[in-house]
Amino acid sequence: MSRDAVEVETGPQPTGTVIWLHGLGADGHDFEPIVPELAARAPRALRFVFPHAPLRPVTINNGYVMRAWYDITAIDGRRAEDEPGIRASQAAITQLIEHESARGIAPAHIVLAGFSQGGAMALFTGTRYPQRLAGIMALSCYQVLAARFDAERGAANQSTPVFMAHGTQDPVVPLALGEAAWHQLQAAGYPVEWHTYGMPHSVCPQEVTDIAAWLRRVLT
Catalytic residue among 116, 140, 150, 202: 116
**Containing domain of residue 33, as a range?**
5-218
Active site residue 202: no
The confidence score (pLDDT) of residue 1 equals: 34
The confidence score (pLDDT) of residue 93 equals: 97
- Per DSSP, what are the bridge partners of residue 197? 167
| CATH number where 150 lies | 3.40.50.1820
What digits encode the pLDDT tens for the residues 122-154? 999 999 999 999 999 999 999 999 999 999 999
The confidence score (pLDDT) of residue 6 equals: 95
What total of structural domains would you count in the chain?
1
Nearest to 97 by CA among 88, 108, 86: 108
Catalytic residue among 22, 82, 109, 170: 170
The CA distance from 138 to 140, in Å, is 7
Whole-angstrom Cα Rg for the chain? 16
Catalytic residue among 27, 99, 101, 201: 201
The confidence score (pLDDT) of residue 85 equals: 97
The confidence score (pLDDT) of residue 79 equals: 66
Active site residue 195: no
Nearest to 196 by CA among 174, 218, 172, 213: 174
The model carries a pTM of 0.96
Active site residue 201: yes
Averaged over successive runs of 10 residues, the pLDDT of the chain (220 residues) comes to 78 95 96 91 88 95 95 76 96 96 96 98 98 98 96 97 98 95 97 98 96 93
HEC readout, the chain = CCCCEEEEECCCCCCEEEEEECCCCCCCCCCHHHHHHHHHCCCCCEEEEEECCCEEEEHHHCCEEEECCCCCCCCCCCCCCCHHHHHHHHHHHHHHHHHHHHCCCCHHHEEEEEECHHHHHHHHHHHHCCCCCCEEEEECCCCCCHHHHHHHCCCCCCCCCEEEEEECCCCCCCHHHHHHHHHHHHHCCCCEEEEEECCCCCCCHHHHHHHHHHHHHHCC
